[in-house]
Chain A
Amino acid sequence: MFDRRLIRQIDWALVGAALALGTIGVLMVFSATSVPGKIDYAFAIRQCLWLGIGVVAAVAVASVPLRVYDALAPWLYGLSIACLAAVLVVGHEMYGAKRWLGGGAFRFQPSELGKLATLLLLARVLDDKRVNLSRMRSWVRPALVALIPMALVLKEPDLGTSLTFGVLLAAMLYWAGLPFRTLALFAVPAVNAALFFITQGIWASAITVLAALALIRPRAQTAIFALVLNAAILAAMPIVWSHLEPYQQGRIETFLNPGNDPYGSGYQIIQSRIALGSGGPFGRGYMHGTQKGLEFLPMKHTDFIFSVVGEELGFWGVTLVIGLYTILLMRGLWLARVARNRFASLVALGVTAAIWYHVMVNILMTVGWAPVTGLPLPLVSYGGTSFVVTCVEIGLLLNVSLRRQEY
């Protein structure tokens, strides 16, 4: 399957960090689903199984030449869009959102597939030699590629995942050559939207836009476009707000003011912070967390697995996990830099950006610095689709590392 030369190219730091995180995941899932005296192996065994499947998937993904993905990208993208559309119609509803297709063991989240397909198609689109990102016309195609699945996922609704597409778009555009100023200018609307929710008014947003324009001083055409875009977003925000699901409004309000509603959505954030804080520097000991063990912590083996790490292993355990992610992400970024093939480089950067975004949003949520979005912690949280998709992404990174010398 591989020739010897390729095996020597394997990025062992990347593989090691990923395997270490996967192993920590299995151990923490076991702890999170068991308490002393009431041991439950079921989740840990299933997580082991996922880990095995993930390793196989990563190896499989790594063994196929990258240009195959390049060629497959439009088809994969088409399939995922079809799935995302289907989920809105026949999806399985949980927690007030339609995010799953199929049922039982064969349930999967099309948004995860969408993420992968969008990443590949964006890389393919931006790989085009004719792309000149200083021209506005060149943005339209990549923007469409990202915004279509984004809108579909938002409709499920799944705010956290839909933002992944925005992050992918911004990161890959930048990597493909978009001037930083332009990127900053287009990041302003996102900041605006946030400011609107925080201040419930347009003044802070308006000042931000003007300040950004004054600082970046873009060409007139771009400036006008940016102004119009921002104005449109500001005008649309109250409408968007009123169209948000009540639980989403609640989450945003809770995030901005957790004390207001300590027993509603804020309950999860507070319990998570207590778990982390009570862990202290050295933790309460593996399997000995009370926040987790006495069921104060919600979704302790999925979205809030990091809180269990913090409670039981303490600050040093937390630092270890974040350190492993840093190694993994830095390897990804390094690969994006050294890959001689533009498509490979863009894929590596996209994968790095996607994992980075998930880690950031999940951990910031557990420390109370981001709203509860329901994004799992890659490789550590218990779960099927997201775990396997992350493994496929790692496989893509491995693929790049094996063939980084190829043009």
Chain B
Amino acid sequence: MRFQRVLILLVAGMLTLVLGAARLQLLQHDKYRDLAERNWLRLEILRAPRGRIFDTSGVLLADNAPAFSVVFQPSPVGSTRPDSMAADRRALLGSILDLPDSVIKGVIKESSRTGVPQPFRHDVPDNVLAAVDEHLSELPGVDILTEPRRAYPESTRAAHVMGYAGEISQTELDSLEEKGYRPGDLIGRAGLEASYERELRGEDGRKILVVNAAGRRVRLFEEEKPIMPVPGHDLVLTLDVKLQRALELAMINVKQGSAVAIDPRTGGVLAIVNRPSFDPNEFARGLSRARWNEFVNDPSHPLLDRAIQAAYPPGSTFKVVTSLAGLAEGAFTPDTHFPASCGGGYTYGGRFYKCWDHKGHGSLSLIEALAHSCDVYYYQAGLRIGLDRLTTWARRLHLGERSGIDLPQERSGLVPTLDWFEKVGRKPTGGAVLNIAIGQGELLITPVQLAMLAATVASRGRVPHPHLVKEIRDPQTGVVRHVEPTDTKTVDISGQNWDVVMAAMEKVVAAGTAARARVPGVRVAGKTGTAQNPHGNDHALFIAFAPVDAPRIALAVVVENGGHGSDAAAPVAGYAFQQYLMGDQPNGPAFIANPKVVAAPKPPPAPVPTPADSTDAD
């Protein structure tokens, strides 16, 4: 009796054990196998290298320079491995990385919450890295990862063209997650980095690793083949670093301004200079909030891509448009002398409109008027053409619309057509056309539009729309895609009329306001401009192209508060033409008093260039 009872108890106990094991091993096997796998398998993202950016001759402008960061590697979601670190381990890590415990705790908590490795420190120097590596076995969960990092070897050069790429933010992630972005990814935020994000980005690969309880990689999980990353495509630009360097050197003393050079044959942008500039490397490394605020609150707006985002009154450079419009409409001929000869001003509607030269120009033909930029001539030309026809022609010359350049957030500028007046609910005054004819009034043109105006004249109205990228290369297959646009937005103006305007613009340089843009042995055509600026000194402008017989470069220079275009802007163009068309000029631009200041961290204020023999600026 007792034996049987004890026997039953004994056997019942053993059966309970078998039952307990059977429940786990037979009934819940799938669940626990899954949990075990979550424990020991970790998905690791193989980051695709971002596409590089080259200038037209292969100079590297944007590259990848991986940085090392020390991260906390959380356990996979659903894993039972704890995301925690004992206090003494935290203290050890803190002393190696020179971080307070609160930061270390915060990082562990955050990575555990998000399930994504979070960095304790970015960009860890080699000696610290070695110390971490040495103690890795005592630091469960701590890992060293290479972070994709953008590097811009030319630093501030063409910074606005490059833009920058940085680590994706949480808000960007929220809206882009379905496009496959992950925390830690790089994303282009400005310039080409943003506009060609899709090409540059590439496709991340992945591999599955076997990890131990400390989160340490043990080996590759052979049963699942790693998916290799597909690198992003490289961009080859039309930009010419040599010209870019020359233009930047020529503008070194310009505090605020912009210059754009375009090949009138292709529409390819050869150089874009914005002053002031910034170092995109600083953004790639990650900017502190304070530094970011410094950039944003800087009154000179270093982040503004003036070439496409700043619009200026074109001043007398617009007389090129007025001339073309008048000729095309038959409002006047090259030989037309208007009734009023220039005595320093013109009276219209009971108001006196000054010529910039109070001494007056006398009676001029169109070519002479453009060469000397006579305002009185163009007041009458404007009246002859009329506001509607003049602004319509300005629009036909693609002013007041985005040029379509492959950079983000381009502004369209403004041409005050009748439609525009109607839209804003204003009636143009009778004198409005006078101001517009000389490039004042409501007109607003961006530097890239000005450069395109020069390129349009240079190409006789056949320039494709401006662009920076000429080729997109797949670094894996070597396949090259030529992406240069071929669409020419032909401007319907007769060859004769183009000739007239080109001859007039050549005279501007040869015998007019732009004498300082002359290049020995090269026929240069141009037009100066001085835009009235209600907020301060006038802006100096200059558009030009060269050589006149077979133009290879068209240029626009804007120097904010630079005064006269003939003094402040034309020399920049002259130096750029010399560099681009004649080869290097080893001494640097002669008009910069001491080119050595180039190397100095803070260039001294712009030396006032001595007005040469030039009769004026418009």
| Contact call B24/A296, Cβ cutoff below 8 A | no
Residue in chain B with minimal CB distance to A291:
B36
A263 within 8 A of B: yes
Residue in chain B with minimal CB distance to A264:
B82
CB neighbors of B among A262-295 (8 A): 262-263, 267, 270-271, 273-281, 290-291, 293-295
A189 within 8 A of B: no
- Chain A residues contacting B13 (CB-CB under 8 Å) are 356, 359-360
- Chain B residues contacting A326 (CB-CB under 8 Å) are 10-11, 14
Known contacts: A271-B80, A291-B39, A296-B81. The answer to whether A280 contacts B213 by CB under 8 A is no
Q: Could you give, for residues 14-34 of chain B, a 1 whenever the CB lies within 8 Å of some chain A CB and a 0 otherwise?
A: 101110111111101101110
- Pick from A315, A333, A336: contact of B21, CB under 8 Å: A315
B2 within 8 A of A: yes
- Chain B residues contacting A349 (CB-CB under 8 Å) are 6
- Chain B residues contacting A280 (CB-CB under 8 Å) are 25-26, 29, 33
- Pick from A267, A277, A294: contact of B40, CB under 8 Å: A294
| Contact call A281/B25, Cβ cutoff below 8 A | yes
Which of A40-48, A110-118, A363-371 contacts the other chain?
A: A363-371
- Pick from A267, A273, A356: contact of B10, CB under 8 Å: A356
- Chain B residues contacting A75 (CB-CB under 8 Å) are none
B84 within 8 A of A: yes
Residue in chain A with minimal CB distance to B81:
A296
| Contact call B84/A367, Cβ cutoff below 8 A | no
B7 within 8 A of A: yes
| Contact call B82/A277, Cβ cutoff below 8 A | no
- Chain B residues contacting A175 (CB-CB under 8 Å) are 2, 6
Known contacts: A274-B80, A277-B31, A295-B212. The answer to whether A318 contacts B25 by CB under 8 A is yes
B590 within 8 A of A: no
Q: Could you give, for residues 315-335 of chain A, a 1 whenever the CB lies within 8 Å of some chain B CB and a 0 otherwise?
A: 100110010011001100100
| Contact call B23/A263, Cβ cutoff below 8 A | no
CB neighbors of A among B65-118 (8 A): 80-84
B352 within 8 A of A: no
- Pick from B2, B22, B25, B213: contact of A294, CB under 8 Å: B213
B493 within 8 A of A: no
A92 within 8 A of B: no
A230 within 8 A of B: no
- Pick from A293, A315, A363: contact of B22, CB under 8 Å: A315
Which of A174, A293, A329, A367 has the most chain B CB atoms closer than 10 A to its own CB? A367
- Pick from B11, B36, B83, B84: contact of A290, CB under 8 Å: B36
Give the complex CA separation of A319 and B28 in angstroms: 17
Residue in chain A with minimal CB distance to B140:
A295
| Contact call B14/A278, Cβ cutoff below 8 A | no
Give the complex CA separation of A175 and B13 in angstroms: 18
A340 within 8 A of B: no
B35 within 8 A of A: yes
Give the complex CA separation of A287 and B81 in angstroms: 21
CB neighbors of B among A194-239 (8 A): none
Residue in chain A with minimal CB distance to B32:
A277
Q: How large is the interface on A (under 10, 10 to 19, 20 to 34, 35 or more residues)?
A: 35 or more
Q: Could you give, for residues 26-60 of chain B, a 1 whenever the CB lies within 8 Å of some chain A CB and a 0 otherwise?
A: 10110111011101100000000000000000000
- Chain A residues contacting B26 (CB-CB under 8 Å) are 280-281, 315
- Determine how close the nearest CB of chain B comes to the CB of A383; give it in whole angstroms: 20
Give the complex CA separation of A326 and B26 in angstroms: 21
| Contact call A359/B17, Cβ cutoff below 8 A | yes
B5 within 8 A of A: yes
- Chain A residues contacting B397 (CB-CB under 8 Å) are none
B211 within 8 A of A: yes
A149 within 8 A of B: no
B218 within 8 A of A: yes
B500 within 8 A of A: no
- Chain B residues contacting A333 (CB-CB under 8 Å) are 3, 6-7, 10
Q: Could you give, for residues 577-589 of chain B, a 1 whenever the CB lies within 8 Å of some chain A CB and a 0 otherwise?
A: 0000000000000
- Chain A residues contacting B14 (CB-CB under 8 Å) are 322, 325-326, 329, 359
- Determine how close the nearest CB of chain B comes to the CB of A46; give it in whole angstroms: 24
- Chain B residues contacting A271 (CB-CB under 8 Å) are 39, 80
Give the complex CA separation of A363 and B25 in angstroms: 14
| Contact call A310/B25, Cβ cutoff below 8 A | yes
| Contact call A277/B3, Cβ cutoff below 8 A | no
- Chain B residues contacting A267 (CB-CB under 8 Å) are 80, 82
Known contacts: A270-B80, A290-B36, A294-B210. The answer to whether A276 contacts B25 by CB under 8 A is yes
Give the complex CA separation of A180 and B6 in angstroms: 11
Known contacts: A276-B21, A276-B24, A367-B23. The answer to whether A337 contacts B3 by CB under 8 A is yes
Give the complex CA separation of A319 and B26 in angstroms: 12
| Contact call A330/B25, Cβ cutoff below 8 A | no
B340 within 8 A of A: no
B214 within 8 A of A: yes
Known contacts: A363-B20, A367-B24. The answer to whether A294 contacts B10 by CB under 8 A is no
| Contact call A363/B28, Cβ cutoff below 8 A | no
A314 within 8 A of B: yes
- Pick from A319, A330, A363: contact of B7, CB under 8 Å: A330
Give the complex CA separation of A294 and B39 in angstroms: 9
| Contact call A277/B28, Cβ cutoff below 8 A | yes
- Determine how close the nearest CB of chain B comes to the CB of A337; give it in whole angstroms: 5
Give the complex CA separation of A267 and B28 in angstroms: 18
- Chain A residues contacting B82 (CB-CB under 8 Å) are 262-263, 267
| Contact call B35/A278, Cβ cutoff below 8 A | yes
Interface residues, chain B, CB within 8 Å of chain A? 2-3, 5-7, 10-11, 13-14, 16-18, 20-26, 28-29, 31-33, 35-37, 39-40, 80-84, 210-214, 218
Interface residues, chain A, CB within 8 Å of chain B? 171, 174-175, 180, 262-263, 267, 270-271, 273-281, 290-291, 293-296, 310, 314-315, 318-319, 322, 325-326, 329-330, 333, 336-337, 349, 352, 356, 359-360, 363-364, 367-369
**Can you list 12 contacts pairing A with B, beta carbon distance less than 8 Å?**
A174-B6, A267-B80, A270-B80, A275-B36, A294-B218, A296-B213, A322-B17, A352-B10, A356-B13, A360-B13, A367-B17, A369-B16
10 nearest interchain CB pairs?
A: A277-B32, A263-B82, A367-B20, A278-B36, A294-B212, A277-B24, A315-B25, A295-B213, A280-B29, A296-B213
